[in-house]
């Protein structure tokens, strides 16, 4: 379980998802704002509504937490990962000022980074690409902290190079990656291969970040294990007892 500690100079701010705080110095002021906090002056009411609307569409909450150092010296604020995985610090200016991410990947960023929405252009990609029609779009020139489940895999794809990825394992990609879906194989592979109906097909040039343990896979295994455990504990009488306990 990783966490990230950010040192803020006087007057500097960082933004984070609600509930990500681990600890902070007393001199770091915490405030909750409407929207994504990309406008340092708060922006107009329409700007705030648009920012909040984009966050809801991308699977986040209406509000963002802003942490500002109000002391005379540096202050520290730390954010923790929501589940086991890897936190990666990425500077947006190194990737053309834009990254496309899984909607649960964003953890924290420098104030001024805009958190928007990215719509899939192809219908099949939207339906079977693992995130529906909407992913998160991070724009700006500051540093963002991305959380990815399990182990992080980084790949740089050459022009025309293609890789097939499980749809849930794509955590982030640069904006120049061509993202589409491709059928797994024949009927037998689709029905009994255990990999779903489609792969994510990623074509270079560009860079991709993959997660070895997406939260959906972790949650599915935990649910399956709990159901098996309930059936096995005590056999038929144990199952009857469980039913009676819930009434």
Residue 189 lies in a domain: yes
The per-residue pLDDT for 28 is 97
Band the pLDDT of 132: cuts 50, 70, 90.
very low
pLDDT digits (tens, 9 = 90+) for 164-222: 988 788 889 999 999 887 766 555 444 544 455 677 889 999 999 999 888 777 777 77
Residue 152 lies in a domain: yes
Residue with the two structure tokens 């705030």: 48
Tell me the average pLDDT across 23-36. Answer: 87
The per-residue pLDDT for 46 is 56
Band the pLDDT of 123: cuts 50, 70, 90.
very low
Residue 239 lies in a domain: no
Domain count, the chain: 1
Indicate the helix (H) or strand (E) that contains 179. Answer: strand 178-183
HSE-CB at 42 with a 13 A cutoff on CA atoms is: 6
Residue 201 lies in a domain: yes
Neighbours of 111 (CB within 10 A): 19
Residue 12 lies in a domain: yes
Give the N- to C-terminal CA distance of the chain in Å, as an integer: 37
What is the C-alpha separation between 96 and 227, in angstroms, rounded? Answer: 46
More confident residue, 97 or 132: 97
- Does the pLDDT at position 74 exceed 90? yes
> Which residue blocks in the chain are alpha helix, DSSP H?
45-57, 123-128, 187-192, 215-232, 235-246
Nearest CA among 123, 100, 103 for reference residue 177: 100
- Does the pLDDT at position 59 exceed 60? no
> What is the pairing mode between strands 114-119 and 152-157?
unpaired
- Does the pLDDT at position 45 exceed 70? no
Band the pLDDT of 10: cuts 50, 70, 90.
very high
Residue-range definition of the domain harbouring residue 182: 3-220
Residue 208 lies in a domain: yes
* Beta carbons within 8 Å of 226's beta carbon, 6+ residues apart: none
The CATH number given to whatever domain includes residue 210 is 3.60.160.10
Tell me the average pLDDT across 140-150. Answer: 92
Residue 125 lies in a domain: yes
User: Can you say how many angstroms the Cα of residue 150 is from the centroid of all Cα atoms in its chain?
Assistant: 13
Residue 231 lies in a domain: no
Q: What predicted TM-score, i.e. pTM, was given to this entire model?
A: 0.74
Band the pLDDT of 17: cuts 50, 70, 90.
confident
């Amino acid at each position: 379980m990783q966490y990230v500690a950010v040192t803020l100079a006087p007057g500097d701010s960082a933004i984070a998802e609600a509930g990500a705080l681990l600890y902070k110095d007393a001199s770091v002021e915490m405030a909750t704002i409407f929207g994504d906090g990309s406008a340092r002056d708060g922006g107009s009411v329409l700007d705030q509504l648009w920012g909040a609307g984009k966050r809801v569409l991308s699977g986040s909450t209406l509000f963002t937490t802003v942490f500002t150092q109000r002391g005379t010296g540096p202050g520290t604020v730390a954010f923790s990962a929501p589940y086991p995985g890897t936190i990666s610090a990425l500077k947006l200016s190194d990737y053309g000022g834009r990254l496309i991410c899984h909607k649960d990947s964003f953890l924290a960023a420098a104030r001024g980074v805009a958190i928007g929405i990215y719509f899939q252009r192809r219908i099949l990609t939207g339906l079977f690409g693992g995130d529906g029609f909407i992913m998160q779009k991070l724009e700006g020139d500051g540093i963002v902290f991305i959380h990815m489940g399990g182990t992080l895999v980084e790949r740089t794809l050459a022009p025309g190079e293609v890789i097939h990825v499980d749809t849930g394992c794509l955590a982030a990609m640069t904006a120049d990656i061509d993202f589409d879906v491709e059928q797994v194989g024949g009927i037998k592979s689709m029905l009994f291969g255990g990999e779903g109906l489609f792969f994510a097909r990623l074509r270079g040039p560009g860079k991709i970040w993959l997660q070895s343990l997406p939260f959906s896979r972790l949650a599915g295994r935990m649910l399956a294990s709990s159901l098996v455990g309930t059936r096995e504990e005590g056999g038929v009488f144990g199952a009857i007892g469980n039913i009676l306990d819930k009434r």
